[in-house]
Amino acid sequence: MALHLPVIGMFYTGINKMKCFKVALAGLTLLGFSQFSYATSTNVVDCSTKSGSYDYGNASSQESSACHSTDRWQKLGSQWTSESSNDASEQNSGTNDGVSWVTSSDGGATWIQNGELTTGGLVRFQFDVTRSTDGNHKYDQLKSWVDWNQDGSWSENETIIAEKWWKNVDSEGNVATSGNTNWDLTRWNDLGTLGSVNRDGNTWNADDNRWNKKIKNSADTSATFFSAELRVPVLNALKDIWLRARIVCENSLENHADNMNLIATGFQDQGEVEDYSLTIATVDIPEPSTLLIFLLGLLIFITQRNNKIAK
Ligand SMILES: [Ca+2]
Ligand SMILES: [Ca+2]
Ligand SMILES: [Ca+2]
């Protein structure tokens, strides 16, 4: 069974103002696994080929690393650190921020902040995003995975959230009517003249010598996204499992992702990756033999009671 999660989108033009931010997604999603992965590596650059200073994830015993050049336009939480490519891993994991969760082992009656996950229990993850008020991309892409099947890699069917935050809307979905202009750089070499319109319908701005999308970047710099409520699967072995979260810009995806799909590993020239170790606890489930003795005792009790009533 493949994992499917609700993905809420927004229209770039804001015609449909969906109140999708800062709203917990209701509904329960059961987790399942498949050997099939949708991601390919067409444009993905391995971090081992990069030299310089990057932000990395800090997960251990996982398949491959992720690295990001700059938090100039977007990040998880409010902190961002970078390491030498020789380190190839986040060295300051104590500064990881932007991801938190609540857990429930009583079916959602009570919730515990950042507690242990319990097999068969519920968990809902929260992602806090920070972005700049400028840029020429349409959206920032948030995505996160949990290595539920403990095979050391994050596959597409282990995605727990995939959200786009459009540059021209605030965290409540309101479209910006003022602010920094979002320029059309895709026609950068296709210069126009006063009054001309390019094939994307953008008009030439003679004053700034650019194609003007007439779209303003929102002044809102922070938003919170929630995963669905997830039921923690029964794991093969009880040990810590790794969550990875990433945020990048649309332009980064065009250059370093397969068909605009952000996968858990590889280089991105913007944004951030954060890894979190999740502790999994178990619940006491009666042994089958114990359960059988209990049921047998219950059956005898009911039979004796019925006999007394019949007399
Ligand atoms: Ca961060
Ligand atoms: Ca996995
Ligand atoms: Ca990091």
Tell me: the pLDDT tens digits for 25-36? 333 333 433 333
Give the Å distance between the CA of 81 and the centre of ligand 3.
7
Task: Give residue 289's pLDDT.
Answer: 55
CA–CA dist 46, 50 (Å, integer): 8
| Contacts with 293 (C-beta within 8 Å, 6 or more apart), sequence order | none
Among the ranges given (22-31, 39-48, 119-128, 194-203), the one the predictor scored with the smallest mean pLDDT:
22-31
Grouping H, G, I as helix, E, B as strand and the rest as coil, residue 228 is coil
pLDDT tens profile 53-73: 999 999 998 988 999 999 999
Residue in the structure block whose two tokens are 């309101």 = 174
Which residues, listed in sequence order, are joined to residue 92 by a DSSP beta bridge? none
| Contacts with 220 (C-beta within 8 Å, 6 or more apart), sequence order | 169, 170, 171
Q: How sure is the predictor about 283, in pLDDT bands with cuts at 50, 70 and 90?
A: low
Give the Å distance between the CA of 14 and the centre of ligand 1.
28
Give the Å distance between the CA of 112 and the centre of ligand 2.
25
8 A C-beta contact, residue 271 and residue 75: yes
Among the ranges given (35-39, 192-196, 277-281, 300-304), the one the predictor scored with the smallest mean pLDDT:
35-39
pLDDT tens profile 132-155: 999 989 999 999 999 999 999 999
For range 71-98, the mean pLDDT: 94
Give the Å distance between the CA of 121 and the centre of ligand 1.
27
For range 183-197, the mean pLDDT: 75
Both tokens of 45, joined, read 């650059």
| Contacts with 163 (C-beta within 8 Å, 6 or more apart), sequence order | 7, 8, 20, 127, 141, 142, 143, 225
Indicate which ligand has the atom closest to the C-alpha of 75.
1
* pLDDT score of 309 more than 70: no
CA–CA dist 202, 4 (Å, integer): 37
Q: Taking the domains of the chain in order of start, what are their residue ranges?
A: 28-174+219-310, 181-216
* Residue (of 12, 30, 8, 25) closest to 227 by Cα position: 25
Residue 175 per-residue DSSP state: B
* Residue (of 5, 241, 28) closest to 142 by Cα position: 5
Q: Which CATH superfamily is domain 28-174+219-310 in?
A: Immunoglobulins (2.60.40.10)
Task: Give residue 42's pLDDT.
Answer: 73
CA–CA dist 228, 108 (Å, integer): 13
Residue 48 per-residue DSSP state: G
Give the Å distance between the CA of 201 and the centre of ligand 1.
37
